Structure 1
């Protein structure tokens, strides 16, 4: 099995949709992440947790994105998954002490998506259990009153996270979202930009009705990191397109998704994207 540090693709699926768990496992990603946070409405939180608990008890190995520290669901989420999941992914990660307090030797992926999280990134990444950080660009941009598509606005934050991971000896971080997955040239350009900064993964944010398409990451050893061009072929671009092509149209998270109407169109977009990355 691919390790969390060397995994190349992360496929997200919402916790309140157990009917999608097996499909996500069969999709070919290195790691499946079941989401209990953004992808799940408040009314479905408890049921989603029980779905995940049952899935883990059946022996399936997945990462679980729990609800944030301080939320009404955090404690029970951690109790349900910490000893069984491959790792919890912690959103709104800011407090190194909270990460260190997770039970046992549970590996963790902190999702850093606030000004405080960026300011404390070095301390967060230095926690022994941290495998690699992920960057929440949209939430941070919202807090700052900036455009999450602006490279200049988030350049310092992205670079700070890359430096923090490198200093702590973590695998390089996973970059934030891009919404223009139906624009292959724009997506390829965004991937190249992230690679130039030192990121080795890319993500897409979930909604309350749909799973987050996959993330891609690389190994802990920075010296063995492949070139950006090779990296891009395995990044979440292929998963963003392939996964969302299977989601019902009513669940598409943004108007731009209307340009990818069915699987054949998605595959055509993927072929075009691969051509731009060769």
Structure 2
């Protein structure tokens, strides 16, 4: 299953690590960057390393993948933090301020074989090198750092103002053959309707995941990336009509069912959980 919800937990708050894993998100990101003040960076890294090396539940006990957002390559903490990639419990590194493929290759040096890299795209330079970043080794998905990007380029607004850039991420991901991108955070966490609306907007633009800054956002994100009952019913009707036609051209609700429509219907049905025996 594609990871829909990516929940941040501060790297200097080890008492929250287990709670984050139990919150219901598809993945947890232990954050050593924005969530940790400079004076606490070294201590936080040590706490995260200790937890991941010995105290974090293994995959069989807690299948929720754990990612670590390290600090940018331009910082003094990058070299030491990227070494966390050697720990088997780390599913991947989230690399902020990713602006070239070379940085991502360095970030993965010494990593275990299964480790994946998730670049945070949050600057104009990153978009200038987007295809190379998406095609770098070990890249799992692209992640849109919407707030930092707006600051970098002087854009005000998270809606239509970022439409071009969101579609660029979707296109680059498709061309590179990697999974669909992950949208940035919604800053409110106590309004489920707003969270779901923004996640659905991202889904319509080809995104298949969203960053979460609070456990309260998870349910709304999952709802946004789930197929609605009417969408599932439509998909079943399309498949049934096609099968009943015996290969002849067929229409449904006044519209012809061509191959792309049928493939979309099958995609919806294939993504549904298997019925209980």
TM surpasses 0.5? yes
2: CA distance between counterparts of 1:9 and 1:184? 14
The aligned counterpart of 1:243 is none
Which of these residues, 113, 116, 132, is aligned with residue 122 of structure 2? 113
Using the TM superposition, give the Cα deviation of residue 196 of structure 1 relative to its aligned residue in structure 2, in angstroms: 1.1
1: CA distance between counterparts of 2:7 and 2:224? 21
The aligned counterpart of 1:162 is 170
| Cα 1:108/1:183, change in 2 over 3 Å | same
Q: Which moved more, 1:76-85 or 1:116-125?
A: 76-85
1: CA distance between counterparts of 2:35 and 2:211? 14
Which of these residues, 184, 192, 202, is aligned with residue 200 of structure 2? 192
2: CA distance between counterparts of 1:88 and 1:20? 19
Structure 2 gap ranges (5+) = 59-65, 230-277
Instruction: Classify the secondary structure of the residue corresponding to 2:226.
Output: helix
Structure with more strand by fraction: 2
- Give per-residue Cα distances to partners, 1:80-120, cap 9 Å, x unaligned: 34444111110111110121232244311111111111121
Q: Aligned-pair RMSD on alpha carbons?
A: 2.8
Which of these residues, 69, 72, 77, is aligned with residue 68 of structure 1? 72
- 2:208/2:225 contact within 8 Å kept: no
How many residue pairs were aligned?
A: 215
The aligned counterpart of 1:50 is 46
The aligned counterpart of 1:99 is 104
Using the TM superposition, give the Cα deviation of residue 9 of structure 1 relative to its aligned residue in structure 2, in angstroms: 2.6
Using the TM superposition, give the Cα deviation of residue 73 of structure 1 relative to its aligned residue in structure 2, in angstroms: 0.2
Higher Cα Rg, which structure: 2
- Give per-residue Cα distances to partners, 1:177-196, cap 9 Å, x unaligned: 22234334333322221111
The aligned counterpart of 2:269 is none
The aligned counterpart of 1:87 is 92
- 1:174/1:215 contact within 8 Å kept: no
TM-score w.r.t. length of structure 1: 0.69
TM-score w.r.t. length of structure 2: 0.70
| Cα 1:198/1:127, change in 2 over 3 Å | same
2: CA distance between counterparts of 1:183 and 1:96? 37
- 1:88/1:109 contact within 8 Å kept: yes
1: CA distance between counterparts of 2:97 and 2:84? 19
- 1:9/1:215 contact within 8 Å kept: yes
Matches within 5 A, 1:31-42: 31-42=27-38
- 2:3/2:208 contact within 8 Å kept: no
